[in-house]
A and B are shown apart, each in its own frame.
Chain A
Amino acid sequence: MCNNLTAKERLAIDRVHMPELDAELRSRNFEEVNQGLAREEAVREAQRCIQCKTRPCVEGCPVGVSIPEFIDALAAEKLPKAARILQGDNALPAVCGRVCPQESQCEARCVRGVKGEAVAIGYLERFVADWAMTNADKLRSEPLPTGTGKKVAVVGCGPAGLTAAGELARKGHTVTIFEALHDTGGVLRYGIPEFRLPKEIIDVEVDRLLALGVEIECNVIIGKTMTLDQLREQFDAVFIANGAGLPVMLNMPGENLKGVYSANEFLTRVNLMEAGCNPNSPTPIIKGNSVAVIGGGNTAMDCVRTARRLGAERAMIIYRRSEAEMPARIEEIRHAKEEGVEFVMLTAPLEIIGDDKGWTAALSCEKMELGQSDESGRRKPVPVANSRYEVPVDVVVNAIGTRSNPLLTATAPDLALNKWGNIVSDEQGATSIPGVFAGGDIVRGGATVILAMGDGKQAAAAIHGFLSGAA
């Protein structure tokens, strides 16, 4: 194929379709749904990009990936070059290509989307990243930087922590990541399921960091095993990226019945502990035949699709507003529907009803309608009179949201927090304590992988500046 196409020829190409596993089959297994583009498909899709001089797509990307440049290299089939460009801008491209809400970020700004369909930037990013993973030998290995002798502690091994660690190690600093759980990845591993983000990808990315000399110590809970003050004594700077992993409870009757889970518990059991998906796992889970998932975000979609895969005949999303207001990625919503998930919209749960043995038996709900717009501009759902009804269910998953976990911050009284318990930091990630930086969900509340990574990158630059100045 050649890349010397005219604009007209480029415009004539239709957007590629991502090959997917058959919906019926995949709704019963944990294999990755999106199969990835074949090389010819990827190159052809890359040729749809008209290489806008103003690069609007780049502005839509929170980390400013050099989109036209990597796509141009791909269109010309210069894969090593494409990979280098991408990896230079984005520490976890194989992850972002899969989980970024592209439709509201890079692809939302693509000029080709104005009159037709945007260039499939996410699919292309994934293609190049996957190619780079299987063709590491064709890429020059990164030169190890000379050590600066400065030590940085990173708290939390999610996307923000991983990104910051990589950036800092490349600058020659000695980095140790402390992670509370027994494994790496944060939400990428315990939250986002295998069928969207295979664990293997996290492993490869983590191995790349280890090769750079980053040390990862799991089973260390900052605020319990060590305090922030101890880290400050032992390290020259600290980056806090401990996420927002505290479930918000429903606070409704029946919440403590057997069969009622928070999304974090449900997903952790399955993703981190392999309950229900690996027959040899000793960690149990109640699978449920009729499952109600409360919420409308990515987390809710992950839970409901997981419930289907665990065998639920009926798996429902219960959401107070209408589908248009759902914060989940459009692709996840479509996939969920194809997999037989029922979308029960404009419905609010009131109570979980148990049987005489303490097991979940039904969800009592009421219908809602959209009323006046609230401050956020979204129309506020209001109950419809006398619309209460019951849905029989044996498992209920609460996916209404998470807050910041106070374990670390409770033992660091000098660290300024906002009223929700999130750490306050400036644009560069600097907190109220000199030498202590923070980013990702612990600062933003539940946000996105790419925003967390952007914070990690930003803070790493600021930490580097801090360490260089202090030298």
Chain B
Amino acid sequence: MFEVISNDILAPNLHRMVIRAPRIAPVRRPGQFVIVRVGRGDERIPLTIGDADPAVGTITLFIQAIGASTRKIVAIPAGGSILDVAGPLGKPTHLANWKRVACIGGGVGTAVLFPLVKALAATESQITTIIGGRSSQYVILADELAALSETLLITTEDGSLGRKGFVTAELSELIADPLRTPDAVFAIGPVPMMRAIAELTRPHGIETIVSLNPIMIDGTGMCGGCRVVVDGESKFACVDGPEFDGHLVDFAGLSDRLTTYRDQEAALCHAANECKLTTGVAHV
């Protein structure tokens, strides 16, 4: 049993949960994730470890309630518990000595980005963080990220906060300015966003790292269900990733495989009769 210490709502359907996981907290590194199963019979759900406090043995998860299982997770109040939390899984982020780094987050991807920005902030790199959302209420962690970055740029699709439009517009400007061109770009968010960013940086030869979210079960390399094609080769995202070179990822294949269970997921959501139409925001 893993105790839920706190559960706050950061944005519509986006929760921050702190969970007691004393074995995981001291050993997890940025870029890694856990697999969570609420109770007997429930689905195994991969979630990035957003932060950790090794001293007290807790980890922080940022969870977007998007379907039946994530809704069940965020419904657990502080004081409640989760039956299974396994991890840390996946490879930690590889940090090099970049001079300038751009970190880009979209939707819940911003939460996944957070531990990475925190890790980069401890290096010499200059960080420009760009985060985007549908509208102001979906922009999360702005203060936390601003404190860690040299510059924080915000975009919203409706212009209710920051620049109107997409994160790619800000990135284009960064790249165009020789004084600000990043040596490396981290892009975490919906597949179309990561793909667009990889296409934007490719002609400039800027190293681009993306964090992939294929469907997983075990998270330990046992089932092969999380395979993604990178540089023409099948990789298991749970052990070889989840971060990969964005210029080599077959995004079309990833998007397509993510739709495998769409009908069944919709039916489950409908059965639970609590799926307010928030899906499709950050996941494609």
Query: Quick one: closest A residue to B238, CB to CB?
Result: A407
A246→B222 contact, CB < 8 A? yes
B222→A264 contact, CB < 8 A? yes
A205 sits at the interface (CB 8 A): no
Given A225-B86, A258-B256, A282-B43, verify A180-B23 contact (CB < 8 Å).
Answer: no
Binds B, one of A32-40, A273-281, A378-386: A273-281
B129 sits at the interface (CB 8 A): no
A225→B27 contact, CB < 8 A? yes
Mostly helix, strand, loop or mixed at chain A's interface?
Answer: loop
Q: How far is the CA of A358 from the CA of B217 in the complex (A)?
A: 21
As a 0/1 sequence over residues 85 to 108 of chain B, the CB contacts with chain A under 8 angstroms (1 = contact) are 111110000000000000000000
- Residues of B250-265 at the interface with A, using a CB-CB cut-off of 8 Å, are 253, 256-257, 259-261, 264-265
Partner of B223, one of A258, A262, A278, A281: A262
Q: How far is the CA of A470 from the CA of B69 in the complex (A)?
A: 50
Partner of B88, one of A224, A273, A280: A224
CB distance from A182 to the nearest CB of B (A): 4
A454 sits at the interface (CB 8 A): no
As a 0/1 sequence over residues 216 to 239 of chain B, the CB contacts with chain A under 8 angstroms (1 = contact) are 011011111101010000100001
Measured between beta carbons, the chain B residues less than 8 angstroms from A181 are: 86, 218
Partner of A273, one of B44, B68, B83, B224: B44
Query: Quick one: closest A residue to B261, CB to CB?
Result: A284
CB distance from B34 to the nearest CB of A (A): 9
Q: How far is the CA of A149 from the CA of B266 in the complex (A)?
A: 54
- Residues of A231-265 at the interface with B, using a CB-CB cut-off of 8 Å, are 245-247, 249, 255-256, 258-259, 261-262, 264-265
Measured between beta carbons, the chain A residues less than 8 angstroms from B264 are: 284
Q: How far is the CA of A256 from the CA of B69 in the complex (A)?
A: 25
B234→A256 contact, CB < 8 A? yes
- Residues of B179-226 at the interface with A, using a CB-CB cut-off of 8 Å, are 217-218, 220-225
**Which has the most chain A C-beta neighbours within 10 Å: B87, B217, B268?**
B217
Binds B, one of A81-89, A214-222, A293-301, A427-435: A214-222
Given A182-B37, A219-B84, A265-B224, verify A258-B257 contact (CB < 8 Å).
Answer: yes
A258→B260 contact, CB < 8 A? yes
A256→B42 contact, CB < 8 A? no
- Residues of B1-60 at the interface with A, using a CB-CB cut-off of 8 Å, are 23-24, 27, 37, 41-44
A268→B84 contact, CB < 8 A? no
Q: How far is the CA of A275 from the CA of B237 in the complex (A)?
A: 22
Partner of B220, one of A256, A258, A283, A405: A405
Given A256-B253, A273-B217, A281-B41, verify A405-B222 contact (CB < 8 Å).
Answer: yes
A416 sits at the interface (CB 8 A): no
A133 sits at the interface (CB 8 A): no
As a 0/1 sequence over residues 240 to 284 of chain B, the CB contacts with chain A under 8 angstroms (1 = contact) are 000000000000010011011100110010000000000000000
A286 sits at the interface (CB 8 A): yes
Q: How far is the CA of A90 from the CA of B268 in the complex (A)?
A: 44
A247→B265 contact, CB < 8 A? no
Measured between beta carbons, the chain A residues less than 8 angstroms from B259 are: 258, 358
Measured between beta carbons, the chain A residues less than 8 angstroms from B217 are: 265, 268-269, 273, 283
Measured between beta carbons, the chain A residues less than 8 angstroms from B24 are: 225
B86→A221 contact, CB < 8 A? yes
A273→B43 contact, CB < 8 A? yes
A412 sits at the interface (CB 8 A): no
Query: Quick one: closest A residue to B86, CB to CB?
Result: A219
A221→B89 contact, CB < 8 A? yes
- Residues of B71-128 at the interface with A, using a CB-CB cut-off of 8 Å, are 83-89
Q: How far is the CA of A246 from the CA of B222 in the complex (A)?
A: 5
A358→B256 contact, CB < 8 A? yes
A182→B23 contact, CB < 8 A? no
Partner of B229, one of A225, A256, A273, A405: A256
Q: How far is the CA of A264 from the CA of B68 in the complex (A)?
A: 24
Q: How far is the CA of A262 from the CA of B221 in the complex (A)?
A: 12
B257→A247 contact, CB < 8 A? no
Query: Quick one: closest B residue to A245, CB to CB?
Result: B222
A13 sits at the interface (CB 8 A): no
A23 sits at the interface (CB 8 A): no
CB distance from B121 to the nearest CB of A (A): 25
CB distance from A263 to the nearest CB of B (A): 9
Q: How far is the CA of A268 from the CA of B227 in the complex (A)?
A: 16
A225→B88 contact, CB < 8 A? yes
Given A180-B86, A226-B23, verify A268-B229 contact (CB < 8 Å).
Answer: no
Q: How far is the CA of A208 from the CA of B109 in the complex (A)?
A: 46
B43→A224 contact, CB < 8 A? no
Measured between beta carbons, the chain B residues less than 8 angstroms from A180 are: 86, 218, 220
Query: Quick one: closest A residue to B222, CB to CB?
Result: A245
**Which has the most chain A C-beta neighbours within 10 Å: B27, B218, B225, B261?**
B218
Query: Quick one: closest A residue to B228, CB to CB?
Result: A256
Measured between beta carbons, the chain B residues less than 8 angstroms from A256 are: 227, 229, 234, 253, 257
Partner of B86, one of A182, A261, A284, A406: A182
Measured between beta carbons, the chain A residues less than 8 angstroms from B234 are: 249, 255-256
B224→A221 contact, CB < 8 A? no
Query: Quick one: closest B residue to A266, CB to CB?
Result: B223
14 A-B pairs with C-beta separation under 8 A: A220-B86, A224-B27, A249-B227, A258-B256, A264-B222, A265-B217, A265-B225, A268-B218, A269-B217, A273-B43, A274-B41, A358-B257, A405-B222, A407-B221
Residues of chain A having any CB pair with chain B under 8 Å: 180-182, 218-221, 224-226, 245-247, 249, 255-256, 258-259, 261-262, 264-265, 268-269, 273-274, 278, 280-284, 286, 358, 405-407
| Contacts A218-B86, A258-B257 known; 5 new A-B pairs at CB < 8 A | A220-B86, A262-B223, A264-B224, A282-B268, A406-B221
